[in-house]
């Protein structure tokens, strides 16, 4: 296996070396959870464009499905064998990947976590990500302000990601509840709140099918739900179908996170009330820049002021701005959207 890896590494190096004859090229790796999710597709585009601009050789790897941890470990090992200068990683399993990441760092490689912080967060040299708590907070505040006095007796449903409650899921959910004015109890756990306005939560796997099923289940529990938080826009689209089936699509407020193009379009069409947009392209291009700096003069990227990661920004997209919550309209959102 080792020999095969070394052989592969040699072959790849020879090939890329031929393309970059003369200079000792800097090479970088991008490892995503999957290569099918438009979010990661966009991330790869951003990384490739920036790498081409800076003359860096980029190799991309991805898990077969969300949660495919082994493929990611193998990819890190390949990058080490390849003599990469830096690795950009969106980890499927944030704690199990740590030993492999440590191995890469020991080999002098700069490891940057994109989008998903590792567990612990300092297992990577730096994290470039959306502040998911803030993303949740914004849609929570917007929903509260939009409902006005009715917020006091809202009926809230949260459509989350999956039963293992990954950090991104918890941060968005708890941020939303915090923004809406719900007491969180433990801010690291979904579902331990005692606020009577909460109808319940269900899991969606972040797709349309799961969104619809979860919404149906919660409507069966309480048909008067009028505020729905969704983990992402596909789940929101599914929830909308379920609401449409019972004729309640116009009196329920759906909020979401992502800012993908179909999602922003759905905000424009009134399917989703507001969504928090994130910027995968920026995450990836900044990551490549950081690797270039590291290769040139050994400088590591710094975290944002007052945070333990580098915040790549988030904006609330809605056509119905609410008092006291900053937002951009869907026209602007469409310019900045991804996937």
Partner 1 sequence: MSQSDNYESAASQAATEVASFDEHQKGLLGKFHHALHVTPALVPLIVLVSAIVIFGLLLGSRFFSPFALTLILQQVQIVGIVAAAQSLVILTAGIDLSVGAIAVISSVVMGQFTFRYGLPVEISVLCGLAFGTAIGALNGWLVAAMRLPPFIVTLGMWQIVLAANFLYSANETIRSQDIAEQAPLLQFLGTKFNIGGAVFTYGVIFMVALVLVLAYVLRHTAWGRHVYAVGDDPEAAELSGVNVKATLISVYAIAGLICAFAGWALIGRIGSVSPTSGQLLNIESITAVVIGGISLFGGRGSILGTFFGALIVGVFTLGLRLAGADAQWTFLLIGVLIIAAVAVDQWIRKVAA
Q: Which of 138, 202, 279, 314 binds partner 1 (CB under 8 A)?
A: 202
Q: 18 to 47, contacts with partner 1 by CB under 8 A?
A: 35-38, 41
* Residues in Cβ contact with 112 at an 8 Å cutoff, skipping those fewer than 6 apart: 86, 87, 88, 89, 124, 125, 126, 127, 128, 287, 290, 291, 301
Distance separating alpha carbons of residues 327 and 15, to the nearest angstrom:
48
Site string for partner 1, 57-86 (x = CB under 8 A): --------x---------------------
Q: Which of 33, 50, 85, 213 binds partner 1 (CB under 8 A)?
A: 213
Tell me: does residue 216 bind partner 1 (CB under 8 A): yes
Cβ 262 to partner 1, closest distance in Å? 5
Bridge partners (DSSP) listed for residue 253:
227
C-alpha pair distances (Å), 55 with each of 16, 47, 58: 11, 12, 9
3-state class (DSSP) for residue 317: strand
Structure token pair of residue 279: 């910027």
Distance separating alpha carbons of residues 303 and 113, to the nearest angstrom:
12
3-state class (DSSP) for residue 34: coil
Cβ-based nearer residue to partner 1, 102 or 224 = 224
Q: 161 to 180, contacts with partner 1 by CB under 8 A?
A: 163
Cβ 188 to partner 1, closest distance in Å? 17
Q: Which of 166, 179, 234, 301 binds partner 1 (CB under 8 A)?
A: 234
Q: Which residues bind partner 1 (CB under 8 A)?
A: 35-38, 41, 65, 163, 200, 202-203, 207-209, 212-213, 216-217, 220-221, 234, 237-238, 240-241, 244-245, 262, 265-266, 269, 271, 339
């Amino acid at each position: 296996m080792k020999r095969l890896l070394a052989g592969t590494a040699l072959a790849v190096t020879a090939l890329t070396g031929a393309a970059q004859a003369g200079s000792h090229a800097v090479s970088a790796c991008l490892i995503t959870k999957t290569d099918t999710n438009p979010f990661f597709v966009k991330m790869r585009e951003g990384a490739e464009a920036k790498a081409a601009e800076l003359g860096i050789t980029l190799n991309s790897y991805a898990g077969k499905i969300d949660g495919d941890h082994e493929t990611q470990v193998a990819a890190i090992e390949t990058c080490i064998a390849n003599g990469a200068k830096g690795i950009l990683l969106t980890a499927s399993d944030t704690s199990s990947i740590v030993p492999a990441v440590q191995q890469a760092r020991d080999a002098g490689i700069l490891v940057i976590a994109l989008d998903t912080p590792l567990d612990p967060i300092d297992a990577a040299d730096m994290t470039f990500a959306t502040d998911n708590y803030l993303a949740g907070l914004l849609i929570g505040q917007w929903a509260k302000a939009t409902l006005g006095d009715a917020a006091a007796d809202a009926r809230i449903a949260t459509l989350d990601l999956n039963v293992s409650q990954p950090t991104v899921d918890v941060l968005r959910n708890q941020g939303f509840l915090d923004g809406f004015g719900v007491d969180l109890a433990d801010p690291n756990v979904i579902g331990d709140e005692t606020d009577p306005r909460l109808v319940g939560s269900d899991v969606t796997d972040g797709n349309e099918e799961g969104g619809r099923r979860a919404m149906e289940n919660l409507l069966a529990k309480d048909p008067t739900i009028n505020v729905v938080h969704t983990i992402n826009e596909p789940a929101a689209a599914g929830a909308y179908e379920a609401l449409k089936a019972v004729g309640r699509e116009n009196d329920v407020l759906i909020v979401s996170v992502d800012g993908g193009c179909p999602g922003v379009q759905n905000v424009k069409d009134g399917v989703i009330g507001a969504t928090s947009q994130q910027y995968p392209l920026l995450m990836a291009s900044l990551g490549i820049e950081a690797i270039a700096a590291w290769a040139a003069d050994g400088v590591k990227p710094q975290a944002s002021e007052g945070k333990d990661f580098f915040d790549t920004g988030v904006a609330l997209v809605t056509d119905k701005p609410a008092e006291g919550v900053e937002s951009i309209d869907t026209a602007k959102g469409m310019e900045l959207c991804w996937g």
